[in-house]
Amino acid sequence: MSELLHETIGSMLERQVERFYSREAVVYSKEEVRYTFREFNEEVDRTAKALMNLGVEKGEHVAVWATNVPEWLLLQFATAKIGAVLVTVNTNYQSTELEYVLKQSDATRLFLIDGFKGTSYPEALLSLLKVSDKVVNGSCAISALPHLNDVIFIGSDNREEFKSWQSFIGGHVNINDDEFSSRKESLDPHDVINMQYTSGTTGFPKGVMLTHANILNNGYHIGQCMELSEKDRLCIPVPFFHCFGCVLGTLAAFSSGASIFPIVEFDPEVVLKTVEKEKCTALHGVPTMFISELNHPTFEMFNLETLRTGIMAGSPCPIEVMKKVMDRMNMTEITIAYGQTESSPVITQTRTNDPVEYRVNSVGKALPEVEVKIVDPVSGDDAGLNVTGELCTRGYHVMKGYYKMPDATRDAIDDEGWLHTGDLAEMDEEGYVKITGRLKDMIIRGGENVYPREIEEFLYTHPAILDVQVIGIPDEKYGEKVVACVQKKEGHEVTEADILKYCQNKIARYKIPAHIFFIDHYPMTASGKIQKYRLRETAVEWAQQNSQV
């Protein structure tokens, strides 16, 4: 049996500082920012004391709206050291979504950068002000956000409405070491420390409450599955606001003694340059990131021979992409991880020594100390081996619940502590799990259950297809019909008729798409997940237009 860590995130970091004092901990290669473990911990302590100087109490909610800037990392560990809850705000949010999260989370402080992808974060926040509201030097009086007291601006251009990062950090001198130590000693590993909002496809986002024990142990076991050690150098291009960045990334690395090399904003060429220059041994990414790296015009120019492992996760991992990453990027020990924010997030993961067929055909086995079962979605009984059902999980990794949403929490976690994921899966005799789709993504065509993943994997074998997403749309005759939304490879020409012919006699007729729609870009969440519900809406419009032609 594998042991669980019974400590806080702060104590884990301090333990690693003692071991790896002068080793590199955090390196921003492009920005030329480098911290040893000792230097990083000292910056974290200054940030923690500065938060206490602002008046942040244990259990208070502190929001950060930023890309993967160094300050994000400092806040992740500083809030953990003083027992504040870090509320991670999606970088793609606009003003309405920001207002919802800040209000629903009762956030008292907000840290923000200048913006991302054309959205000005300061303007988005200030647009929420009513006539009598004001924000002066960071102090807030915003009627729509009654809990928000302070706004701190991260960046070199100081904004007069907000407190500057430099001014904020300067406050650390007002907190002595005894005050800081007594705060750290008051913490418990089962305190909530992180709150992430699920980008649900229906209803309002829900705040997932995660503890030190949830995410620290999850990160540690993820790192163990990758065989991470102090010899590893992990490049992190996935966003910190999502569990992929701040658990599979920073916590998996630090709990294993590895160094991290964050990318502030994803750019395939910057990733490739960083891996080569810093001799990274590990690289994370969602499938679309790996696809864009592999297909970058300068890909062949980079030496990636130091790469060994990493994680592909966030959405279903196409077999053909996995094979190319292992072959062309030298990531022979890459792992696949599966989970959701509510499970801290990883439930199952492949291991570095798993046979290749398991690493491309499954999402691995349960992590240590994690239970997994597959149940019939209707009866709730065990589905049996190699039978599709809903994946449920139980263990240290299951969230405390949704913030201020007891009914939704009861819907997600049953009386026996099992988290119901809403994902369709099957498990083999050795415990390896295959994800076959979402309960709500499953297409029912004329009484036949159609799993989009199966058709996607088949279509990936077509030489002209770069990426494909299969969805179901309403159909008068069959209830639903199958539609494939295809991205073509550059320089390849292919028609709907070509693809339909390719399907003939290779997959069952009811699985062959009724329509092939060609698309340049998929609608995405900021964490790299493809929003199938938005694709579905667009496909319905396309189908209607086609039927009228």
| Residue 392 pLDDT | 98
Q: Judge whether residue 451 has pLDDT over 80.
A: no
Average pLDDT over residues 48-53: 98
**Residues forming beta bridges with residue 443, ordered by sequence position:** 450
- In the structure, what pLDDT confidence band is assigned to residue 161 with cuts at 50, 70 and 90? very high
| Residue 354 pLDDT | 94
Instruction: Give residue limits of the domains in the chain.
Output: 9-197, 216-233+262-438, 448-548
- In the structure, what pLDDT confidence band is assigned to residue 243 with cuts at 50, 70 and 90? very high
- In the structure, what pLDDT confidence band is assigned to residue 549 with cuts at 50, 70 and 90? very low
Higher-pLDDT residue of 258 and 320 is 258
Going by C-beta distance under 8 Å and a sequence separation of 6 or more, which residues neighbour residue 508?
A: none
Q: Which of 25-39, 134-148, 297-311, 497-511 has the lowest mean pLDDT?
A: 497-511
- Candidate CATH numbers 3.40.50.12780, 1.10.10.10, 3.10.580.10, 3.30.70.3290; the one for domain 9-197: 3.40.50.12780
| Residue 419 pLDDT | 98
Q: Which fold has domain 448-548?
A: GMP Synthetase; Chain A, domain 3 (3.30.300)
Q: Judge whether residue 281 has pLDDT over 70.
A: yes
**Which stretch of DSSP H or E encloses residue 474?**
strand 465-475
CB 442 within 8 A of CB 479: no
Q: Which of 79-83, 157-161, 186-190 has the lowest mean pLDDT?
A: 157-161
**What sign does the CA torsion over 51, 216, 5, 370 have?**
positive
The whole-angstrom separation of Cα 394 and Cα 388 is: 19
| Residue 1 pLDDT | 44
Q: Which fold has domain 216-233+262-438?
A: Rossmann fold (3.40.50)
Long-range contacts of 179-185 (CB under 8 A, 24+ apart): 179/52, 180/45, 180/48, 180/49, 180/52, 180/81, 180/82, 183/52, 183/58, 183/81, 183/82, 183/83, 184/8, 184/10, 184/11, 184/81, 184/82
- Short-list 434, 423, 432, 512, CA closest to 470: 512
| Residue 447 pLDDT | 63
Q: Which of 252-261, 334-343, 355-364, 436-445 has the lowest mean pLDDT?
A: 436-445
DSSP letter string over 301-342?
A: GS--TT--EEEE-SS---HHHHHHHHHHS--TT-EEEEE-GG
Q: Judge whether residue 547 has pLDDT over 80.
A: no
| Residue 526 pLDDT | 67
DSSP letter string over 356-390?
A: HHHHHH---EEPTTEEEEEE-TTT-SB--TT--EE
- Percent of the chain with pLDDT strictly greater than 90: 78
- Short-list 125, 1, 10, CA closest to 63: 125
| Alpha-carbon distances, residue 115 vs 66, 92, 111, 154 (angstroms) | 8, 10, 12, 10
| Single pTM value for the model | 0.84
Q: What is the pLDDT of residues 479-520, one digit of tens each?
A: 789 999 999 999 999 999 999 999 988 887 878 999 999 999
Average pLDDT over residues 426-436: 94
**Which stretch of DSSP H or E encloses residue 538?**
helix 532-548
- In the structure, what pLDDT confidence band is assigned to residue 201 with cuts at 50, 70 and 90? very low
Q: What is the pLDDT of residues 366-396, one digit of tens each?
A: 999 999 999 988 788 999 999 999 999 999 9
Q: What is the pLDDT of residues 297-336, one digit of tens each?
A: 999 999 999 999 999 987 777 788 899 999 999 999 999 9
CB 9 within 8 A of CB 80: yes
Q: Judge whether residue 446 has pLDDT over 60.
A: yes
| Residue 27 pLDDT | 98
pLDDT, mean over the chain: 93
- In the structure, what pLDDT confidence band is assigned to residue 4 with cuts at 50, 70 and 90? very high
The whole-angstrom separation of Cα 198 and Cα 181 is: 34
Average pLDDT over residues 353-357: 89
- Tell me if domain 9-197 and domain 448-548 are identical in fold: no
| Residue 346 pLDDT | 98
- In the structure, what pLDDT confidence band is assigned to residue 199 with cuts at 50, 70 and 90? low
Higher-pLDDT residue of 216 and 361 is 216
- In the structure, what pLDDT confidence band is assigned to residue 202 with cuts at 50, 70 and 90? very low
